[in-house]
Structure 1
């Protein structure tokens, strides 16, 4: 059949369709027959994009609302169902810790919501354009698996960071030991945790590489002091002197707010070639054990000397952990 003499589309006789409306305005059969592509499909695509943008905007606003810290630095709504291990002694630092934790989790939620919303909108647009989505979804799945294998370290860091934040294993202001590095946490991200050690060196630790975490800033801490004595010393009398001196030190104005329980004299800890070691422990607020240990060492040694005990060949020992 000669295309110049083909019959006009039947839809031009139906004024309730786009085809009929376009023909009524233009009197052009080709435009009327292509109304589906020229009008209907662009409107469907525009509608899908507008809905996706609107839904994404609403979701982002909701996430911002539940991740924003209320006045006074209280927990944002997002973190209230989750356990918080932040110690009270952090003071103003706890506000930054909560803000950073909420902001990071909120950022992940926004990215995930945007990926899902715009991904569904893209599939809708492709469906309107007439593409077969089956092969596309299969191909996307294969590419996703390949990228997952190629970026498995990045995925491992990301997942470890997410669980670490949800469980609040550590946060800004905590003193932690992650194996290769130890120090005060300055920033926590989904991929990297930033620590600053005693010498001022900043360590960037990948979350996926952290096998264990020792946190010295949760719940409470214990100040441990080992006191050396000579073999000829009266252990019972030295124990009494040290106990009285420790009580006086911990009840002083400088340490009263750091100590949670009275000091406990454990007795002989070990016998070395240099002499005998007595151990004393004090339960203190998290992060205050090092200050209490320093104060105890200074006063306990002076108390022994005042009581007439001669110093042994060894030196005054501290806790097995390094002082801060």
Structure 2
């Protein structure tokens, strides 16, 4: 009888291991060919489902193990229900996190791989569980934020982004030269291999942002793909300065402007 019990336990452990492994592979159910938005939402939903399935596997395995040892589950389940009510009253924040996690996945304000700002930190979404969302910032630090504490969420990876750069110029600079700087910089960005696939639009002059005794500050803007916003911002500043110097115009230091 004892040998039969151990064989059943070994079989139970094997089944738990297989179920755990299968739950870890659930993300492969994402079909190819989906648009990026739907793919991110589905991946986030599958990540949440993986956590739920693994928790369910452990709970069922625990109950089966108790039954194998001959324990009466009726009183145990009744007592567990009472304890669950007590724990629920004392763990309301955990319950809020779980509910918030489900709502986040269903509404889809962000997905895995997107860059967001939430709860005072920003980074790339690496994982979404029932309890928390995990962000990796630019320094490599991993932030675990409880889902109920995300608050206002700013998504930097949706649809499109606008990059702006300010260029301080001598006050005597004719406006025709400003237009020439824009044209020169726009042509240079079109040939910049670093910006290939950035989905950029036309470079425009937003207007004059400030005036001092010696200079005025001109703001240039260009729409780009969200993922390219940081690279595009650096390259835009570079090409604006280079275009100004090509036209023999010396940009003013910002302190002087």
TM-score, normalising length: structure 2: 0.71
* 1:104 and 2:44 are equivalent in the alignment: no
Aligned pair count?
232
The 5-angstrom pairing of residues 1-324 of structure 1 reads 69-70=28-29, 73-74=32-33, 85=37, 98-99=42-43, 101-108=45-52, 140=81, 143-234=83-174, 236-254=175-193, 255-272=195-212, 275-314=215-254
Higher relative contact order (CA 8 A, sep 6+): 2
Cα deviation for residue 103 of structure 1 reads 3.6
Distance in 2, Cα, partners of 1:170 & 1:70: 20
Mean alpha-carbon deviation: is it higher for 258-267 or for 102-111? Answer: 102-111
Larger Rg: 1
Distance in 2, Cα, partners of 1:292 & 1:262: 13
List alignment gaps of at least 5 residues for structure 2.
1-18, 64-72
Contact kept? 1:86, 1:171, Cα under 8 Å: no
CA RMSD of aligned residues (A): 4.1
Contact kept? 1:227, 1:316, Cα under 8 Å: no
> Which one has the bigger strand percentage?
2
TM-score, normalising length: structure 1: 0.58
* Residues 294-313 of structure 1: CA deviation (Å, up to 9, x unaligned): 11111111111221223224
Q: Judging changes above 3 Å, is the alpha-carbon distance between structure 1 residues 211 and 297 closer, same or farther for their aligned structure 2 residues?
A: same
Q: Judging changes above 3 Å, is the alpha-carbon distance between structure 1 residues 203 and 130 closer, same or farther for their aligned structure 2 residues?
A: closer
List alignment gaps of at least 5 residues for structure 1.
1-59, 76-82, 88-93, 120-128, 318-324
Cα deviation for residue 315 of structure 1 reads 6.2
